[in-house]
Structures are given as structure tokens and as C-alpha cells.
Amino acid sequence: MARKRRVLPPDERKREILTAATEVFSAKGYRVASVNDILEAAGIARGTFYHYFDSKKEAFLELIEFYFSEFELVLEDCHDRLVAALDEGANVFDAWKDYALGVFRFHSENPKLTLLIYREAMSLDEHFSFRVDELADLGTTWIARDLDEMVGRGLIKTCDTSLIATIITGATVFLTLEYIVRRGTDDLETLATELAMNQVKALAPIELFLQPEGGV
Amino acid sequence: MARKRRVLPPDERKREILTAATEVFSAKGYRVASVNDILEAAGIARGTFYHYFDSKKEAFLELIEFYFSEFELVLEDCHDRLVAALDEGANVFDAWKDYALGVFRFHSENPKLTLLIYREAMSLDEHFSFRVDELADLGTTWIARDLDEMVGRGLIKTCDTSLIATIITGATVFLTLEYIVRRGTDDLETLATELAMNQVKALAPIELFLQPEGGV
Amino acid sequence: MARKRRVLPPDERKREILTAATEVFSAKGYRVASVNDILEAAGIARGTFYHYFDSKKEAFLELIEFYFSEFELVLEDCHDRLVAALDEGANVFDAWKDYALGVFRFHSENPKLTLLIYREAMSLDEHFSFRVDELADLGTTWIARDLDEMVGRGLIKTCDTSLIATIITGATVFLTLEYIVRRGTDDLETLATELAMNQVKALAPIELFLQPEGGV
Amino acid sequence: MARKRRVLPPDERKREILTAATEVFSAKGYRVASVNDILEAAGIARGTFYHYFDSKKEAFLELIEFYFSEFELVLEDCHDRLVAALDEGANVFDAWKDYALGVFRFHSENPKLTLLIYREAMSLDEHFSFRVDELADLGTTWIARDLDEMVGRGLIKTCDTSLIATIITGATVFLTLEYIVRRGTDDLETLATELAMNQVKALAPIELFLQPEGGV
DNA sequence: GATGAATGAGTTTTCATTCAT
DNA sequence: AATGAATGAAAACTCATTCAT
């Protein structure tokens, strides 16, 4: 009675399902998206899904884990390049812009997954909160570490790097969601330039320009 | 087995239910939270809930609408005070800090509601997306308008105010969620100072301190 | 806190409620009609309804009982007049037409109640079936009795009077519902004439007119 | 506790459910019958019901549609046979009796469905009224058409065929419900004979036997 | 491996009825 | 008498998961 039996190498089939799941989860959110939606999107039968995943949740977690591991690699790479650049005496702006570009590029290559992650990150579903807390911290932690590095080198002023990291993370996330995910812009260069410039100025070690009384 | 019948004036009872609903929705999210959870939290019977609200969704929407209307008032007030301050020749930093303080204070007074809103705002549940898009724009729009105002007065440099507004919104939201909602800090003053300082510097009209080539 | 307290003599208030109930029940049917609908139609509060009736069902039964007792009176009266007419040597047609007219007139004066009764009579709700069976039989029984009377007098042919009574009841009910209730006709005279003529011919004692073979 | 899993071909299972639904709906009426009742009657789990029908209402509509389409076929067939018989010079009584027999036989084969339909037809539930109006008209329309045919051929007297059709429909419905559905009689022959005889006499073109004034 | 019919726990919602005021 | 807030049993429906084929 089976409609069609498309036999596929396990890995390929699994990837197909995960792609469909990304689509569906990012479009509807974890809760609203039903296994049915995924079946339809993937063009498979009910049983097939459960052959590859123990549950809807597990499929979702696999996507999250993928994002996490990839993003961590990106952050690691960005960090390495930042340190290398600073070691070579590059200016802060260029180094920082390069950093931002790396982050934006990663999200630009995975817009659906990005949307899915940030949605669910905020929604703090009891079942995922353990991972989600990590996510909230992941970017902030790396950035704070790199800010400390730069403060240590005297490239930026002494400051509450943790708080500034939160500011930068928020700015980055919102730019990503608004410009990359929502508007689908390709001009990551400009985005990175603006963000880097903004923070480089804000954190510049020289304080001359601010007069206590009167206009700036 | 029967619960004691607690008769209350309608307004009071409704407020009770909405408070319980805020608690529950912010703890679990709209989808996961069940009407049952609300009943328990509010200590009422099933019928009582439906006596005051046509549906779970309607109760939720009432909370959202409350946040929106209140927040809009706050933004309006902040704007008015900003313009007044600038008219009186106050410096940009003080004016901006005051602005940020207003926003932080509002969220500090409604941490549960704030969490709830930002969660659901991001989770983009099909049913609320119409409101959610507004939310994303609400802050950004007001801020962009005020940035334009300041650019016009020559108080900050000419820039893509819409993009900068996105940065500021992101920074504000993340600070709010991390420091006010999550850590429950009371020191809004410091938060506002840091945020204002950060952006006032970043947007200062004088460019002396940043050399195009070479270290900062 | 009470909106308005319209104090009324008990009987009048009760009649008001029953009128509203008739309206509502006939418009929606017993099951679909809610106590709420009745409250709205009667312009009273919840408690007031339950002050006069123990339950929705009881209010409904009161309407049914009213119909039954009134209709029984009508049938009794019709029967008496039929016998009297026959005693006086009136022709069957005139007597029968008069009979039908009585029945039609009663329903014409209570169209809402009639609709309500026939609806619910058929719907055989477990709770009312005991009454409903009676209703189904009420008309049929009386008619069968009067047919027997006429057979006895040799005014109509010998026949299965119970079966014929069913036919006549069905015809009467359908004419009532279609012409009186649905179309709201006032011309009961024609209706009665047609029905009487139809049955008087069908039951005429002379059989001449039907040739075994060929057309009628 | 778990019920044994009975796997069945979809068509068979669906038929099972519809049969159970007919049973339940005809016994309790659409409103009072619960999905639970159907589950019990069909020996299936809740989910199975909703696997085959989107809602209780849809299952009910499917039954209604089945009745309608089948009954229409019966009426069409009866009509064709009536015309054929008349063309061949058969007498009105035989032709008409055959007609009635067709209708009775159909209902005799589906007594539960018949009861269900007439119940709900009268109960005019808001959700089904659209279909119900059709039902009321379906029989009447076909009969009126066939009466016109016979009037045209001079086989019966000129008359208000629409009104007479209402009479015949009412008579037929009541005979069906009382004798076939309620008493479960098998003797459709007698029923058809009586009904046909009744109306053939009533509508005979010859008027000799009835004197306008005076006894019959 | 693949299929999809079957399951049932869990949810939202309705509404007749009760009872404190 | 009259009010309407409060109750909760019962109903419809959802959907992740299981399992016979």
C-alpha cells in the first residue's frame, strides 16, 4: 500500500530531513511546527522520521548542536585572526571589522538556522533552556575575552568589558536579524564597517572630545 | 473537594488573573503555558477564566496590548524630555542618559512582562506576528527619529540613523534582558550611563581622534 | 452593582421568560439554545431565570406541557363539533374541513411554539422522548377515533383507520409547517378545504370510479 | 489498559466508523451524541476518529450527503419507471404504487439513517439548515413534477400540485417513520398500496361521486 | 529501511448550575 | 426578588509517538 519507497543512503536521507526541519522550524517555531509539517516538507512518511530521530525534540536539538559547534568554530577563528592582526600591528578598526565580518558571514550563510536559533533562544522553552543559556553567553563570553585582550594592549579604554560585550552582542544580533535575515542584504561589508566603527569610536582610549558642559 | 468560592469585584479579579497569566506566560511561553497553569496560579476555576476572557489567546493579547500602550507612552515621554533638554542646551550625554533611563525604568518595573514580550516577539508565533513586527519597529522608529533630530541640530554626526537605531535597540534590549530581567539589577543609573556614553562617543561629530590609517 | 432591578409580579415575569424561551428555542432548538440566549432575549439576569425555573429543561417542559394541554383541548373541541355536525346530518366534507380548520387555526396562532414542538418532537432527545411519543400519537389517536366514528356511520369506507390516521397526521403536519409556519400564510380556509377534499375523496365509500384495467 | 491495535484497510475502517456513527447519531441525535459515544460504538481510539474525519460535524455531513445522493438516485429511478409505466398505458394506481414502493424500500434498507436524517432535518440545527431546506424540498419537488406530468396526461385532475405534493410527502414521511422505522414492518407492499390507493382516489379526474351540497 | 494506520494523554473550550451579595 | 461572579463536569480536538505490515 506504500505510496512510494524512495530508498536513500541513510546520511543523505537524514540530511534531507534536517533541511526540511530547519525550514519548518524557522518558519513556525519549534512548538507550532508539527512533525506533520516536517513530513510534508521532507516528503517522507511518519515512520521514516522516527526511524532517524527518536523524537521531534531530538531533531531540533541536532540543529541547535550543529549551529553551536559551527558558530563556536567561527568565533574561534575570528578570535585567532583578531589576535594575529593585532600582533602584526593592524589598527583596531580593521581587526574589529574583520571580526564582525566573520560573524555576519556565518549567519548570512545560514539565515534559516539563524532565525530558528534566535527565536528559540529567546523563547526559553523549558526543555532547551540549558542550551539556550549557553547561547546567550557564547557570543558575549568570546567578545568579552577579546575586549579584555584589547584593553590589555591599551588599544581600547578600560571598561566593564562584560557589559560592553552585552551591548555588542545585542547590536550584532539585531543587525543580523534585521538586515541579514529579514531584509536579506548581501552587503555584509557595510554592516561590519558600521558596527566596527561604532564600537571602535565608543571605546577609543582618548577622551578629549567630550566637554563636560555644553554640546559635545 | 470543591474550592472555596472567592467572590471579588470584576476588575480586581481580572487583574489577579492577568498577573497570574503574566507569571505563567513569562515562565513557560505562550504555547507551553496551559490555561490550567493560569488557573492554578490564579487560584480560580476553569469557568472563571473564561468568564473574563474568551480564550487563552485573548488574555495573552491583553497583556501584549498593555505593554505596547504603556511602552509607547514611555517612549513619547522620553522623546519629549529629550527635545526639551536639548532645547535648554543640555549636553547630549545627559539627555541621552535620561532617555535610556526612562526605557530601563519601565522595563525594570515590569520585568516579567518584559521577558514575556521579548520572548514571544522573537518567537513570531503566527498569531501574534502582526504585533511583533510593530514591536521590532517601535523602538527603532522612535530612536531613529530622535537621532535625526540630533543630527539636525549638529549634535551628532551624519549617519545612517536607521542602522544606528537598530544597533541601539539591540544593545538596549540585550542590556535589559541580561541585567534587568535576568540578573535583576537595580542600578539602572550605571546601565544608562554606560549605554549613553557608548553611543555618545560613537556618534560624536568630531572625528579628530581616529586616524584613518595606523593605530587608534 | 446590579444594573437594573425591574421588580415585576411573579406571574408576569414568568410569562415574559417563557415567551423569550419560546422565541429562542424555536429559533435554535433546545440543545443549541443556551440559557444565555434566553437571558438576553428576556433581558434578565442569570439568577432570575433560576429563580423561576429549576433548570433549562424545566422551562422547556413547561412550554411542551402548555402546547399539549392546549392542543388536546383543540382536538377535543374539534371532535365534539365533528360529532355534532354529523349528528345534524352535515356532509362529511364540511365536517372534516371544520375539523382541519380548528387544527390549523391553533397552530397559526402559535407558530413559534408549533415549530419548536415539531422540531423537538422529531429530535427525540432522550430526555423528552416520553412526551414526544405521546405527541406523535396524540393527533393520530384522535383522528383514528373520529375515522372509526365515521366508518361506523357508513360515511366513509371501511379501512385501516390507524394507518389512514397516520397519513392524515403526516399531511396535516407538513401542511402546517410548510404553509403556516414557513410561508406564514393566513389563508387557512384553502388549506383546510384542500386537505378535507383530498381525504374525503380518498375515503369515499363509493368505489365506482376506479376501473381495474386502464386509466383511472 | 491499552486497547488491542486493530489495523484495517482505510476504507473498511472508515465504513466501520460511519456505521457506528449512524447508530449513535440516530439513537441520540447529532447534538447529544458525543464523539466518545462513537468511539465506543466503533471500538476505536480518539485519534483514529480524527484520522478519518476532521470533526464530528464532518462525519455527520458525510452521512447526510450519502443519504441525499442515494435518495436522489432512488427518486430519479422511481420517476423514470413511473413515466415508462404511464407510456406503456399502465394504470395510475399501479404506477404510483410502484413509485411509493421504491421510496419505502430505500428507507426500509436504511432505517437508522432515515431516522437520523428526519430528526436532524426537523431540528434545523444552524449548521445543517442549508442541507435541510433541500431535504424538505427534495421529495416535494420530485413529486410535484410527477403530478404535473400526470395532470398533463389527464390521468389526474388539475390541482395545486405543489400543495398536494406537500400532503403526499407528509403522508409518506409519517408512514415511513411510524411503520418502517418505528414498528420495523416488512410489509412494504401494503403500505405502498394504501398510500397509492389513497391518493389515486383523491386525485381521480372524475368528480361524479361528490356532490357539492349534501352528504357524500 | 519505509510506510501510514492507530493510539491516547493532554489541551482548549462550553455552558448549565450554584450561591454570596 | 434579583443579580452576576464563580464553579467544574463534560465535550471537542491536537499531535507526538508507536507498531503491524
Q: Looking at residue A53, what DSSP letter applies?
A: -
Q: Looking at residue D88, what DSSP letter applies?
A: T
Q: Are C25 and C125 in a shared domain?
A: no
Is residue C98 in a domain?
Answer: yes
Question: What pLDDT was estimated at residue C211?
Answer: 43
C contact chains, 3+ CB pairs < 8 A? D
Last residue of a domain, which of B37, B53, B69? B53
Q: Are C134 and C77 in a shared domain?
A: yes
Comparing A62 with B211, the larger pLDDT belongs to A62
Rounded CA-CA distance C81/C88 in Å is 10
A200 has a chain B CB within 8 A of its CB: yes
Residues A58 and A19: beta-carbon distance below 8 Å? no
For residue B5, pLDDT beyond 90:
no
For residue A3, pLDDT beyond 60:
no
Last residue of a domain, which of C28, C53, C78? C53
Identify the residues numbered 4 to 23 in chain D whose C-beta atom is closer than 7 Å to any atom of strand F.
5, 7
Question: What pLDDT was estimated at residue C11?
Answer: 83
Cα torsion through A104, A110, A116, A120, rounded to 10:
-50
C57 has a chain D CB within 8 A of its CB: no
B contact chains, 3+ CB pairs < 8 A? A
Q: Are B24 and B124 in a shared domain?
A: no
Q: Are C48 and C76 in a shared domain?
A: no
B13 CB less than 7 Å from any atom of strand F: yes
Is residue C208 in a domain?
Answer: no
Cell triple for A13: 536521507
Q: Are A39 and A139 in a shared domain?
A: no
Range A151-166 average pLDDT: 94
Q: Are B75 and B156 in a shared domain?
A: yes
D165 has a chain C CB within 8 A of its CB: no
Q: Are C12 and C79 in a shared domain?
A: no
Structural domain for C78, as ranges: 61-203
pLDDT band at residue A214, thresholds of 50, 70 and 90? very low
- Of B76-85, B112-121, C168-177, the poorest mean pLDDT is in B112-121
Q: Are B38 and B132 in a shared domain?
A: no
CATH code for the domain in which residue C11 is found: 1.10.10.60
For residue C157, pLDDT beyond 60:
yes
Q: What element of type H or E holds C146? A: helix C129-152
Last residue of a domain, which of A32, A53, A74? A53
Q: Are D24 and D65 in a shared domain?
A: no
Is residue B189 in a domain?
Answer: yes
Is residue B208 in a domain?
Answer: no
C200 has a chain D CB within 8 A of its CB: yes
pLDDT digits (tens, 9 = 90+) for D179-216: 999 999 999 999 999 999 999 988 887 654 444 444 43
Rounded CA-CA distance D107/D195 in Å is 15
Is residue A210 in a domain?
Answer: no
Count of domains for chain B: 2
Q: CA D34 – C1' F12 distance (Å)?
A: 9
Cell triple for A132: 539556550
Answer left, alpha or beta for residue C88, where phi above 0 means left and psi between -120 and 50 means alpha: alpha
CB contact set of B151 (below 8 Å; sequence gap of 6+): B157, B158, B159, B161
pLDDT band at residue D137, thresholds of 50, 70 and 90? confident
Cell triple for B108: 525594570
Alpha helices in B29-128 (DSSP H): 35-42, 46-52, 56-87, 92-109, 111-123
Comparing D14 with D119, the larger pLDDT belongs to D14
Residues D202 and D168: beta-carbon distance below 8 Å? no
Is residue B211 in a domain?
Answer: no
CATH code for the domain in which residue A98 is found: 1.10.357.10
The CA radius of gyration of chain D, in Å to the nearest whole number, is: 21
CB contact set of A108 (below 8 Å; sequence gap of 6+): A180, A186, A188
In terms of Cα–Cα distance, which of D48, D43, D26, D46 is closest to D35? D46
- Of A1-10, A58-67, B4-13, D48-57, the poorest mean pLDDT is in A1-10
pLDDT digits (tens, 9 = 90+) for C1-29: 444 556 666 688 999 999 999 999 999 88
In terms of Cα–Cα distance, which of D158, D214, D95 is closest to C94? D214
Is residue B97 in a domain?
Answer: yes
Q: Are A73 and A35 in a shared domain?
A: no
Question: What pLDDT was estimated at residue D209?
Answer: 45
Q: How close is the nearest chain B Cα to the Cα of A3, in Å?
A: 32
Rounded CA-CA distance D48/D46 in Å is 5
Residues C132 and C121: beta-carbon distance below 8 Å? yes
Question: What pLDDT was estimated at residue B1?
Answer: 43
Is residue D211 in a domain?
Answer: no
The CA radius of gyration of chain C, in Å to the nearest whole number, is: 21
Q: Are D96 and D189 in a shared domain?
A: yes
Across the interface, whether the CB atoms of A216 and B164 are under 8 A apart is answered: no
Q: Are C46 and C67 in a shared domain?
A: no
Give the nucleotide with minimal C1' distance to the Cα of D8: E5
